[in-house]
Amino acid sequence: MIHYDFDGKVAVVTGAAGGIGRATARRLAAAGARVVVADLDLDQAEETVKLIAGDGGDAAAVRVDVAESASVKAMVDFTVRRYGGLDYAHNNAGIVGAGANIADMPDEVWERGIAVMLSGVFYGMKHEIPAILARGGGAIVNTSSGAGLIGFPGMGNYVAAKHGVIGLTRTAALEYITQGIRINAICPGTARSRMVDDWMRGSAEAEAQVAALHPIGRIAEADEIAEAVLWLLSGAASFVVGAALPVDGGYTIT
């Protein structure tokens, strides 16, 4: 594992109560960042903070609903009040896909998917960018998905939101790179998380079926996705701008 240096920097991670967001928050804190652990689920966000404190890191939890602009603004305001500014953000909160084809998808299921996973990333960047600019620059990573690059039957709301995240990321990257903010997206394949555990319901058979879809022959640990996020946020990726990086064991190249 590469050691990154985020000493003295401040980061906010949404969806950090579990899975990929928790793994990113822990890795950022281990690399020296002060981390705001933001999630709808405050109890589990506090749990992430305890894990970080146990590792000797500095973090604070805040409840956010990324689907609400005012709530996301309050998250950024909290970060600036608590730690004096903002340098990095990982906009990562997400929910499971519809589980229904388009003609059968209730409007509210469509709307919630778009609100959390597309508007959530928009509100994130909208409120984070001024704070990052005030520090003279930084970096943002948005979580898209393999489903941001290819279609998946029964997941139209998820697929549309995740494709949208890539378009929004590319546009934001062009708008802000000259002001010192590098903005990229990651496109994970299936990674072990609460969402995926709920979906597979502890069935080894289900996991084997999903693993077989990935040319690498297994699903990822959340930490393997966090590793890519850390790299994209770090100076090691200094010439990477507006990328949609697959971290998917080969899923989307088959």
Ligand X SMILES: NC(=O)c1ccc[n+]([C@@H]2O[C@H](COP(=O)([O-])OP(=O)(O)OC[C@H]3O[C@@H](n4cnc5c(N)ncnc54)[C@H](O)[C@@H]3O)[C@@H](O)[C@H]2O)c1
Cα distance between the two ends of the chain: 28
Choosing from 11, 49, 93, 172, the residue that interacts with ligand X (CB under 6 A) is 93
158 is catalytic: yes
Site for ligand X in 131-190 (CB under 6 A): 143, 145, 188, 190
* 17: region left, alpha or beta (phi > 0 left; psi from -120 to 50 alpha): alpha
* Closer of 33 and 185 to ligand X (Cβ): 185
Least CB distance from residue 178 to ligand X, whole Å? 28
Q: Binding to ligand X by residue 25, rule CB under 6 A?
A: no
Choosing from 11, 12, 13, 20, the residue that interacts with ligand X (CB under 6 A) is 20
Span interacting with ligand X, options 19-27, 74-82, 168-176, 238-246, rule CB under 6 A: 19-27
Distance CA 103, CA 19 (A): 31
Q: H or E element: which one contains 184?
A: strand 181-188
Residue 99 and residue 154 in contact, taking contact as beta carbons nearer than 8 Å: yes
Interstrand relation of 10-14 and 181-188 (parallel, antiparallel or unpaired): unpaired
Q: Binding to ligand X by residue 116, rule CB under 6 A?
A: yes
Site for ligand X in 37-76 (CB under 6 A): 39-41, 64-67
Q: Binding to ligand X by residue 24, rule CB under 6 A?
A: no
Q: Which of 52, 59, 66 is nearest to 95 (CA)?
A: 66
Partnered with residue 39 across adjacent β-strands are: 63
Task: Indicate which residue of 4, 83, 88, 158 is catalytic.
Answer: 158
Site for ligand X in 186-245 (CB under 6 A): 188, 190-191, 193-196, 222
* Closer of 7 and 205 to ligand X (Cβ): 205
Helices 156-176 and 120-134, packing angle to 10 deg = 20
DSSP three-state, residue 122: helix
Choosing from 79, 92, 157, 184, the residue that interacts with ligand X (CB under 6 A) is 92
Distance CA 244, CA 141 (A): 10
Residue 242 and residue 215 in contact, taking contact as beta carbons nearer than 8 Å: no
* Closer of 98 and 196 to ligand X (Cβ): 196
Q: Which residues are catalytic?
A: 158
Site residues (vs ligand X, CB under 6 A): 14-15, 17-21, 39-41, 64-67, 92-95, 116-117, 143, 145, 188, 190-191, 193-196, 222
